[in-house]
Chain A
């Protein structure tokens, strides 16, 4: 059997599905008698729930008019949304009505000559999956099954797979996103900054953003607080190769050369130390290894940084002094998507150290100490102990990875080392767009005996699956309780506000049924999820009925700043803020960050940068018709002078060719003054190649497809993705 060609990328669409067993597909206006009986004939119901258009999980109130979903607004009781959702949350209605949704479980049969899916019953789907899982377990052990998941919806599937006996569960949010940042902060302060971030943006008097494009990156609480800070007259300093929305609010915009942020950070710290502007008392009290740190900064002068970064020495000094003037209410934002160049954990550590010099960790306007509600976990039976350690990071190759590395699981799946991985579950993450180098992902998939994809729409990854399980969207389901670390403790409930339009099911139901099919039913002692909620909430001294009615229950607010008595403790080996890191030194890394040049694009080529739009989340909302009406394809931002030289005009289509000769789908040019001439930029998530995503199929280009090269962070295994270079090729025919 040829392992590489046996599996074809199957586009799930109505035309390729053969109905194996009954049940007509329901239109959005169809209702079953059971549904109709539940619905009021007329009037508006307002039902509290939480949003899941992104992982921020804002408290929301959905309005259902005459039984049909009408609109979604923020829940005023919710500390995250403060009663106002972001555009994606407001547009969440489009997720429910999306005509391209998956409706029934699908199995790709073994007769692979036919590009056809069979709709099956849920029981058939679980029986098929369980049989395959038992076979994998018998041949390779339970650890040979891995899970990739994103968001709170995956909690119960994790539970089932832990019960099955595998430790291999990862989310792209670590090695493809915030991982380096969290590692950098852990190495420095002994803690990471969490999600939602513990950044006190609204009280910052000086806010420094390094490539972080708040306002385009639409994490609701952060953007609300950003507007508060700007409205309060905070000094905003933005370093970005692109004149972002945030740059438009900045007093100082630093058009930094891509890949040189660490040089700028070192020069800023040099100025603070050399001019004695840092918080001496704070550093003396909480710092470890400051003298060694200061000595190593000596050569990183603004004059040294100038040719690297393109930022003039007087600007570097002026902005460093501005930061010092407002300390400790100066927040150097650590960003979120931090996987850029492969030295990202060290860059993030430099951000942490700069904050440490300013005394902002623990201070108002800096990093607060978050609180959470004490809601005990459900008392499940103990999981079986896996016979082998996690597969992703053999011999602790990446010694400071504190979460599982997705790309490590992928590599093990390709190589079979340290042991084979033969089954993947993929929940709510479009791996082909989330991981760099899609060919490696496809190669890994070819080695699998089982690929199960759980999604709401027929995404690219679903096209590669053996079994596709259609999940109900967040407006139609319960998920696990949301207990966040935030400014004040709270617990929030996601609950259905409308019925799903087909046979879609929530993750908790799938995970429980799968466990039962696997003979692991005793890991689900509860009958349904409401019984589970009631049990956990009762244990926390709360009432489920009250949560159900309000959507949010808030705990008592406690002090969040050191000045108000919150003790500053650091879980580092020294128990202090590690300006100099012996644990890095012992592992063979720079104990104080050092800048090293990154490869630059060859003449005629541009560095490919990518980012976010406020109206889309990753590659999962482009088919939402409401949000598609806000933005239905991405553009390639090209510096206006460069565009003139290349004879390209805004609105014309080009294709991008990268250093490995990969050619993108066509994408519209945006010729603009808002970007440097040495890079181009696009919003992530477009250029879908799955035909079942009818509305968004082949609209715009996919940055992921062009990220064939990535630079792995030696500290924690993150995949730096801003290391790809592209040229622009005009489309012969203009549309």
Chain B
């Protein structure tokens, strides 16, 4: 079994939002909404500053609160790669998942269902990288199987310092940020 995850190099990232735009066109995300976004984490006082830039999205958690709280089973863990998905036909738009997600990764599509990052599973199942990863002009994003010790993502995690977002939430996120 594979366990898909993403490793994002904050040293290379310039926060250009190409990942956000690519997601939008690839997945036809409605105007006014985005499935991914850029966070600028600035520490210190001028001029002694540190800044970490992160491309953020659904963390496809190993312990996904959105799946646990979904009353209809629409939010589920996909067979392939353990990707967290929403079955739009089963979704009733109750927003429980939106409230449960500590990362603010979900929104309600104007047509009434919960929407979020799918890791571009339709591309991944064709052997392609997610759209955001494939377009990144800085090559700061990597996608692959975290359970395969020889995958690029595993190798990067073994060799570089990294962190996840809000590990204290206990969700076991699968997006890792290299620092």
Give chain A's interface residues, CB within 8 Å of chain B.
70-74, 81, 84-87, 90-91, 93, 214-216, 218, 220, 223-224, 226-227, 230-231, 243, 245-249, 253, 255, 614-615, 625-627, 629-630, 639-640, 672-676
Q: What residues of B have a CB within 8 angstroms of the CB of A73 in the complex?
A: 134-135
Out of B13, B16, B139, name the residue touching A86 (CB < 8 Å).
Answer: B16
- Cβ-defined contact, A629 with B34, below 8 A: yes
- Cβ-defined contact, B12 with A90, below 8 A: no
Q: What residues of A have a CB within 8 angstroms of the CB of B26 in the complex?
A: 71
Docked complex Cα distance between A53 and B33 (Å): 22
Chain B: interface residue count, which band? Answer: 35 or more
Docked complex Cα distance between A81 and B138 (Å): 11
**Counting chain A CB atoms within 10 Å of each CB, which of B17, B53, B137 scores highest?**
B137
- Cβ-defined contact, A674 with B25, below 8 A: no
Docked complex Cα distance between A243 and B11 (Å): 16
For residue A478, give the distance in angstroms from its CB to the closest CB of chain B: 23
The 5 closest A-B pairs by CB, nearest first: A215-B14, A227-B138, A248-B51, A255-B47, A614-B16
- Cβ-defined contact, A674 with B138, below 8 A: no
Residue-wise, chain B 1-34 has the 8 Å CB interface mask toward A (1 for contact) of: 0000000010111111110111011100001111
- Cβ-defined contact, B46 with A674, below 8 A: yes
For residue A80, give the distance in angstroms from its CB to the closest CB of chain B: 11
Q: What residues of B have a CB within 8 angstroms of the CB of A614 in the complex?
A: 14-18
Q: What residues of A have a CB within 8 angstroms of the CB of B42 in the complex?
A: 243, 672-674
Docked complex Cα distance between A474 and B65 (Å): 45
For residue B83, give the distance in angstroms from its CB to the closest CB of chain A: 21
- Cβ-defined contact, A249 with B138, below 8 A: no
For residue A733, give the distance in angstroms from its CB to the closest CB of chain B: 24
- Cβ-defined contact, B21 with A87, below 8 A: yes
Give chain B's interface residues, CB within 8 Å of chain A.
9, 11-18, 20-22, 24-26, 31-34, 42, 44-47, 49-51, 53, 131, 134-140
Docked complex Cα distance between A231 and B8 (Å): 13
For residue B27, give the distance in angstroms from its CB to the closest CB of chain A: 10
- Cβ-defined contact, B135 with A90, below 8 A: yes
Out of B24, B45, B137, name the residue touching A224 (CB < 8 Å).
Answer: B137
Q: What residues of B have a CB within 8 angstroms of the CB of A231 in the complex?
A: 9, 11-12, 139
Q: What residues of A have a CB within 8 angstroms of the CB of B137 in the complex?
A: 81, 84-86, 220, 223-224, 227
Q: Looking across the interface, which residue of chain A has its beta carbon closest to that of B24?
A: A626
Q: What residues of A have a CB within 8 angstroms of the CB of B131 in the complex?
A: 71
Other A-B contacts than A71-B26, A84-B139, A230-B11, 12 sampled, CB-CB below 8 A, are A72-B25, A85-B135, A86-B16, A87-B21, A90-B18, A215-B15, A218-B16, A227-B14, A255-B46, A614-B15, A626-B25, A627-B21
Cβ-Cβ contact count across A and B, 8 Å cutoff: 123
Out of A226, A230, A673, name the residue touching B45 (CB < 8 Å).
Answer: A673
Q: What residues of A have a CB within 8 angstroms of the CB of B138 in the complex?
A: 223-224, 226-227
Q: What residues of A have a CB within 8 angstroms of the CB of B22 in the complex?
A: 71, 90
Docked complex Cα distance between A72 and B135 (Å): 10
Pairs across A and B, CB under 8 Å, 21 listed: A71-B22, A84-B134, A84-B136, A84-B139, A87-B20, A90-B22, A90-B135, A93-B25, A223-B137, A224-B139, A227-B14, A230-B12, A248-B51, A255-B47, A614-B16, A614-B18, A630-B17, A640-B46, A672-B42, A673-B44, A676-B46
Given A87-B16, A245-B14: A227 in contact with B31 (beta carbons within 8 A)? no
Given A85-B135, A615-B17, A629-B32: A90 in contact with B46 (beta carbons within 8 A)? no
- Cβ-defined contact, A87 with B11, below 8 A: no
